[in-house]
Structure 1
Amino acid sequence: MSKELKTGIAAILIIAIFIWGYNFLKGQNLLDSGKRVFKVEYPKIGGLSKSSPVTINGFKVGKVDKIEFDITDKKRGNLIVTFIVENDFQFSKKSIVKIYSPNPLSNSSLAIVPSYEGDWAVSGDTLEGEIEESLFTSIGERLNPLQNKIEAVIVEADSLFANINKILNKKTVNSINSSVTDLAATIVNIKETVKSVNSMVVDNQDNLKVTLEKTKNITENINKVTDSLTAVDFKKIIAKAENAVDNFNDLSTKLNSGDGTIAKLINDKKMYNNLEAATKELEELLRDIKLNPKRYVHFSIFGKNSDPFEAAEDKKE
């Protein structure tokens, strides 16, 4: 074998090794013929790049081959990711390919969430894709509405402070200062008053004790009176009062009906007239006794007869 042939063969081997090493560094193994190719489409890839690893349950089974734009009218602008699975692990067409970030400092990767229902996925199939939001993306999405609220609060606070600055002019500040001064003086007066009250209480402590004792005695007496009133049988008293009222009603009924002497005396006019006439005659008799006592009481040694009775009217005549 000539030197030229040996040199040519060595050059071809070197070129082949260089090509294989270059592709190997890019993640492509030209010697592996059992690889499968799948596609998945996303609206965004979130840091996914060519040669990013593809894993199943955390185990690397392939890599991303290429990323290109979708040029169709319905999905224009979406990204079609083509990845290679070098492992012969079987999963169905219902499996989901998820973009996730293993840690905040690394690029995104593809994770196949395998499903075993339905037909097995074969090379050339397009699988369903999802995007797993990273920690920072989730925090950012949650902080966005909070940021809007904070901005609104800051704007309102700014307007509030502006209004406060308008209100707190020199006159208002002076008024507030004078009010604070008056309030401090009032507090001092209240303290002095409290001290005076305390000293007065201390000086009159004995009198307060005596007053409290008297009040206690009065309260005890009131309790005794209350107990006495409680012991009184008000039912019997009320019953007796009712009996007295009934008796008075009976008496009034009899007097009005005309039964009995008193009723006849009250209701009979003749009886009244007779009593009035008798009273008049008795009055005349007493008057005559006063005027002529000898006529009724007579002492005579010689048996002289007394004058006959004459009425006062006859005597005048």
Structure 2
Amino acid sequence: MKVSREVKTAILVIGAVLVFIWGYSFLKGKDLFNSYKTYYVVYDNVEGLSPSAPVTLNGLVIGKVTAIAPEKKGHLLVTMQIENNDFSISKTSSAVLYDPSLVGGKQIAIHPDFKNPTPAEDGDYFTSGVEPGMLSIMSDKLVPLQNKVEATVVSADSLLRNVNEVLDSDSKASLRDAIKNLSNTMRDISATTRSVNKMLAKNEKNIDGTFESMNKAATNIAQITDSINAEDLSRAVRQLENTMGNVDNLLADLQSGKGTMGKLLKDEEMYDNLNGASKELKELLADMKNNPKRYVHFSVFGRKNRPYVEKE
């Protein structure tokens, strides 16, 4: 069967129209050969989101954004075309706007609510959400750091100005002199250290002998300590305890007035008698010194002793 030129031209024109319609629909985000459902979500700000942006579920692309239109009170209505697939998307699912990478626009990720078994129907609205991207996180981290850096720079600038004000010509001269004196001091310390090292090198044998003697003395002390028998030490301790007990008993007897010493300490009458006897003895000795003839009679020729007559 021969096809005429007019039929071929009509078929070609119809095919071109169909391809144009399909291409136009594809560019607008609609696929004429696949079944899909349309869902909506309202955002306050969709900066970076463009029509035909992918819609993902657990990282898998399941649809795309078909339109972004203004809503009431400055909100933006986003229309999503999602293909029919085996994923169960509930009515209470959320559509989260996020940045997949540093380069490229934003995308929408569907977070299904597995607790709600009711599936979403064509034309349902999802709950909106925004997940901060890497740039936002980095910006949030860098802003405090920038503030700290700025504050540090301002503090450093103030410090340098104060240093410049303090370090006038006299202060700079004094600082140079101080550094010079410090250098001289370090040179003297180095010379002293070399002298000490030379002295130690010369007396190394004597120092070694001294330490050797100290080691021998420590060894002898250790031997003496080891030679002390623990039994002898305990015996000496017991004897010391017995001696201290006897001393305590003696002191107790003296305190209670037992014995001669105790009576001397406690008997006041005996003390008074001894005190009186001592006084009388003192008076007798004084009288013997002053009047010896009253007590001693001495005659060379054998005369009779005359009685002593006390002078008026």
Q: TM-score, normalised by structure 2?
A: 0.70
Structure 1 residues 45 and 268 mapped into 2: Cα distance closer, same or farther (>3 Å)? closer
What residue number does 1:266 align with? 277
Bigger CA drift: 198-207 or 108-117? Answer: 198-207
Q: Is 2:83 aligned against 1:86?
A: yes
Percent identity, aligned pairs only, is 27
Residues 145-196 of structure 1 show CA distances to partners (whole Å, capped at 9, x for unaligned) of: 2111111111111111221222222222211111111112222223333444
Q: Which amino acid aligns with 2:244?
A: K
Bigger CA drift: 97-106 or 249-258? Answer: 249-258
What is the distance in 2 between the residues matched to 1:19 and 1:43?
Answer: 33
| Alignment gaps of 5+ in structure 2 | 229-235
What residue number does 2:18 align with? 16
| Alignment gaps of 5+ in structure 1 | 297-307
What residue number does 1:184 align with? 183
2:99/2:107 contact within 8 Å kept: yes
Residues 4-40 of structure 1 show CA distances to partners (whole Å, capped at 9, x for unaligned) of: 56645543432232222232344322344x3211111
2:28/2:66 contact within 8 Å kept: no
Structure 1 residues 176 and 205 mapped into 2: Cα distance closer, same or farther (>3 Å)? farther
Larger radius of gyration: 1
For residue 138 of structure 1, report the CA deviation from its aligned partner: 1.6
What is the distance in 1 between the residues matched to 2:204 and 2:15?
Answer: 121
Q: Which amino acid aligns with 1:235?
A: M
2:53/2:64 contact within 8 Å kept: yes
Q: Which amino acid aligns with 1:295?
A: G
What is the distance in 2 between the residues matched to 1:250 and 1:155?
Answer: 95
- In the alignment of these two chains, the number of paired residues is 284
What residue number does 2:302 align with? 295
Q: TM-score, normalised by structure 1?
A: 0.69
How does 1:57-76 map onto structure 2 within 5 Å?
57-70=58-71, 72-73=72-73, 76=74
What is the distance in 2 between the residues matched to 1:60 and 1:207?
Answer: 87
For residue 277 of structure 1, report the CA deviation from its aligned partner: 8.5
What is the distance in 2 between the residues matched to 1:87 and 1:166?
Answer: 77
What is the distance in 2 between the residues matched to 1:273 and 1:2?
Answer: 184
* Aligned with residue 111 of structure 2, among 94, 110, 113: 113
Residues 102-140 of structure 1 show CA distances to partners (whole Å, capped at 9, x for unaligned) of: 333333222212224153211111101222222233222
Bigger CA drift: 3-12 or 59-68? Answer: 3-12
Bigger CA drift: 190-199 or 273-282? Answer: 273-282
What residue number does 2:154 align with? 155
2:29/2:81 contact within 8 Å kept: no
1:61/1:86 contact within 8 Å kept: yes
SS in 2 for 1:97: strand
What is the distance in 1 between the residues matched to 2:204 and 2:254?
Answer: 57
What is the distance in 1 between the residues matched to 2:163 and 2:249?
Answer: 82
Q: Which amino acid aligns with 2:104?
A: S
